[in-house]
Structure 1
Amino acid sequence: MDRTGRYGWAGHARSDSTIDPGTIGPDTASPGTMGTSYPGAIGGSGPRLSRPAGVRWRSAVAGAGGLAAVAALLTAAPAYAGVPAAGVAAAAPAAAGLVSAGVIRSTAAPALAATASTTAPVTAVPTAPVSPAGRKVVKAVAVVTPGAGSVVGVGQLITVKFSRPVRDKRAVEAALSISSTQPLPPGSWAWLAPDRVVYRPSTWWPGHAQLTVSLRLSGVVLGTVGRGARAKDVMVVNRPDRDVTFQTGRSLVATIQNKTHRMKVVVDGRLVRTVGVSLGKSGFLTRSGIKILSGEKYVVKRMRNTELDYDVQAPWSVRLTPSGEYIHGAPWATGRIGRYNGSHGCTNLRVTDAKWFYDIVLPGDVVVTVGTGRRMEPTNGPGAPWNIPWRVWLQKSALS
């Protein structure tokens, strides 16, 4: 041990001589020795090996002892730094015994034995998925809306959107189910597009309920692409079997009557507020039907149309349809709200009523407009499928 308390190994193994075990021990460090006193260690802060001119390191050959054991000891050498002298002295005889157990001469200059004692981890190579028919698989993704943990209104529809068109709709639909902590009304899936299936109950969901969408798509083939030997099956590979759980909040249904120019808001079965409205005037009639809130809303929404010559800042705006209907405050229309229609299709409210509505609504809340003479399209927004007659809806199921 040198004056710094570091443990060094002196001597070099030449190709034309054997190691003298006596050269390994404390207080023998010399230039060119292996020891923790030298910086730039292999793999980090361990010992650095140097070789004088004309000297070649001998290979460590597995056997009884040999330099492989010395190499293993070397890799542990940094742990000796700062160890009391008694502990180091106890380790030295063991090292000497390992070296004296057997040495084989070498005529080449192989890689350092110190790296040979570490076994590299084996990384498993994932196998490509195979369909039940033994064909290669084209991966698809299934996205469920609403997402896990969401809190939505009682009019929220459930959608499963696939990243590829589904050909075997019966098999897929049979692998989907809905459950709840409360009794549910009858419901059915309907295929509204080749890659999209929607679940709708016959009436609103119960409020304050937990609902779970269960997917059991493991092994289910959505369809096949290609022909012959090149045919591949489309399958959901990533998490094909999973449950997506969300909750309904309080039940909120707002009903707007064109005849009375009033909107009544019912929460959990109780009428909580009646407010005046002004709907679309002739030529710009507001749509009658069911509209489900998407959650898109603005503290202030600029609304303008150069052809119709209006440009307004509408406070507390809540979107009703992608086509441009909103419920919003209309400070410029206070005189007609609750009396007659005059908007370009939106539902105008007094500013205080608009803010109240803005503050309480959730995505999935229900707005029903009645009596305007213009029908709501069944494709105009996330709640538009509610406007499809129930008997027609049932026919859109692949299991009907």
Structure 2
Amino acid sequence: MNRVPRMLPALVALAAMTACAAESGHVVPQTQQASVVRAAGAASVTAPVQVTDPAKPEKKVKLDIADITPMGEKSEKVGVGFPIIVTFDRDVKDRAAVEALLEVEAEKPVDGAWRWVSARKVIYRTKTYWKPHQKVLFTARLSQLPGNTGTKDVSRRFAVGASHISVVNTRNHQMKVYRDGKLAKKIPISAGRGGLIKNGVDVYLTTSGVHLTMGKKAVETMTSSWMGVTDPKDPRYYKEEIPWAVRISDSGEYVHQSAGYYQFLGRSNQSHGCVRATPAGAKWFYGIAQRGDVVKITGTKRKLQWNNGWSYWQLNWTQWKKGSALKG
């Protein structure tokens, strides 16, 4: 495999909650693993307890990996927009030295760069979308970090699935889903109607920009608690079980089945910020959705922030690379 050029990272902060906010918060796939694997199907990062031999020099651990997202090739296939998110077990003091030890190799290479979003988290994004139907290998050679002799190298292989790029037009109320470059389905939708201003932001508007799918649930509980309404007697109160919910931001936006109100689908925007779809359309979209699939939304005045969920494609390539610790 050819090696993808390495660069740098940066990341998160939740945006203002939209009305579709789920009761359970952040969505993860049902098969989410807690441990980090060294390679597809390999053992976790936790090493067996060993008795120290006083005759041998003690091995020290200065830095290790706490989590890698997404999961390995045996657990999921990912979309062409997927980021590699690496979380360390402590603050990284020398970001450039650590970043230089992070490698990404793809069967179908594209340029990519790391961006640091916190003292412990770094994210890899490509310049253009990944090529579909391939494998990508991530390796962290942390054993080569000076003074980090007690740590072993960690690797994970990802499986990139089909290219799913959905285009949501909130003005003509249509969602077009393209699979490997060909139009697969048109789905009538209803987006955010607008009209609720919080801190200068109309949180009833769907955000326009390049979203990535982050997870999904066959049934998601959505409530009005995001706007401080918890009293069932309040006319603004709601608590609904919503089928076929695919999360596309941290601020509570989903593509999901409309809970009734089917007369508005394809005709007008009536949601609290989510993209409502027909029962058949929502179920079909849920069925094909992979984490890291691209959902482009257009037509609203509310802009998607780059650190709202996995919305890293909101930064252009020059802006993204500025988050790398490796200059030049």
Instruction: Give me the TM-score of the superposition, normalised by structure 1.
Output: 0.60
Quick one: which amino acid aligns to residue 267 of structure 1? Answer: R
The answer to whether the 8 A contact 1:140-1:236 is kept is no
Q: Which residue of 2 aligns with 1:164?
A: 90
- Letter of the aligned partner of 2:112 in structure 1? G
State which of 137, 150, 167 in structure 2 corresponds to 1:212.
137
Between the aligned partners of 2:149 and 2:279, the Cα distance in structure 1 is 49
Contact 1:153 1:363 in 2 (8 A): yes
Q: Give 2:209's aligned amino acid.
A: G
In structure 1, give the amino acid aligned to 2:190: S
Q: Which residue of 1 aligns with 2:64?
A: 141
Code of the residue aligned with 1:258 in structure 2: it is T
Question: Hey, what's the Cα distance between the residues in 2 that align with 1:156 and 1:148?
Answer: 13
Q: Alpha-carbon deviations, 1:110-158, whole Å to 9, x = none?
A: xxxxxxxxxxxxx77275545xxxxxx4443213322332421111101
CA displacement at 1:242 relative to structure 2 = 3.5
Cα distance change, pair 248–236 in 1 and its aligned pair in 2 (3 A): farther
Residue identity (%)? 36
Cα 1:193/1:128, change in 2 over 3 Å: farther
Kept in 2, the 8 Å contact 1:140–1:237? The answer is: no
Query: Which of 223, 234, 242 is matched with 1:304 structurally?
Result: 223
Report what 1:271 is aligned to. 183
1:380 aligns with 2:308: yes
Which amino acid is the alignment partner of residue 206 of structure 1? K
Change in Cα spacing, 1:253 to 1:178, as seen in structure 2 (3 Å) is same
1:333–1:399 Cα change, 3 Å:
same
Answering whether residue 122 of structure 2 is matched by residue 202 of structure 1, we say: no
1:331/1:350 contact within 8 Å kept: no
**What's the offset of the Cα at 1:354?**
0.8
Going from structure 1 to structure 2, the CA distance change for 1:146 and 1:315 (only over 3 Å counts) comes to closer
Change in 2 beyond 3 A, CA 1:329/1:236: farther
User: What is the CA–CA distance in structure 1 between the aligned matches of 2:95 and 2:223, rounded to whole Å?
Assistant: 44
Indicate the SS of the match to 1:282: coil
CA distance in 2, matches of 1:187, 1:141: 23
1:393 correspondence with 2:316: no
Q: Secondary structure at the match of 1:386?
A: helix
Aligned residues of 2:64 and 2:142 also touching (Cα < 8 A): no
Pair 1:188 & 2:100 matched = no
Structure 1: distance between partners of 2:88 and 2:57: 21
User: Counterparts of 1:46-61 in structure 2 under 5 Å?
Assistant: none
Following the alignment from structure 2 to structure 1, what is the Cα–Cα distance between the partners of residues 324 and 144? 21
Between Structure 1 and Structure 2, the one with more helix by share is 1
Shift of 1:244: 1.5
Match for residue 255 of structure 2?
327
Partner Cα separation in structure 2 for residue 169 and residue 367 of structure 1: 32
Name the counterpart of 1:291: 211
Measure the CA separation in 2 of the matches of 1:369 and 1:294. 15
Instruction: Please show how residues 218-229 of structure 1 align to structure 2 within 5 Å.
Output: 218-221=143-146
State the shift of 1:282 in Å: 1.9
Gap change, CA 1:379 and 1:129, over 3 Å in 2: farther
Match in the other structure for 1:68: none
Superposed CA offset, 1:53-103 (max 9, x none): xxxxxxxxxxxxxxxxxxxxxxxxxxxxxxxxxxxxxxxxxxxxxxxxxxx
Kindly provide the amino acid, as one letter, of the partner of residue 63 in structure 2: A
Q: Secondary structure at the match of 1:271?
A: strand
2:173 maps to 1:261: yes
Unaligned stretches of 5+ residues in structure 2: 1-50, 196-203
Distance in 2 of aligned mates of 1:335 and 1:236: 64
User: What is the one-letter code of the residue matched to 1:175?
Assistant: L
Sort the Cα spacing of 1:236 and 1:213 in 2 relative to 1 into closer, same or farther, 3 A: farther
**In structure 2, C-alpha distance between the alignment counterparts of 1:237 and 1:144, rounded to whole Å:** 20
Normalising by structure 2, what TM-score? Answer: 0.73
When residues 139 and 339 of structure 1 are mapped into structure 2, their CA distance, relative to the original with a 3 A threshold, is same
- Higher RCO (Cα < 8 Å, 6 or more apart): 2
- Looking at structure 2, the residues matched to 194 and 341 of structure 1 have their Cα atoms a distance apart, in angstroms, of 40
Structure 1: tracts of 5 or more residues without a match? 1-122, 131-136, 222-232
CA distance in 1, matches of 2:320, 2:53: 47
User: 1:86 — aligned with what?
Assistant: none
- Rate the CA distance shift 1:217–1:359 in 2: closer, same or farther, 3 A: same
- Shift of residue 392 of structure 1? 1.2
Distance 2:169 2:205 in 1: 13
Check the 8 A contact 2:104/2:137 in 1, yes or no. yes
Map of 2:281 onto structure 1: 353
C-alpha contact (below 8 Å) 1:212/1:244 kept by paired residues: yes
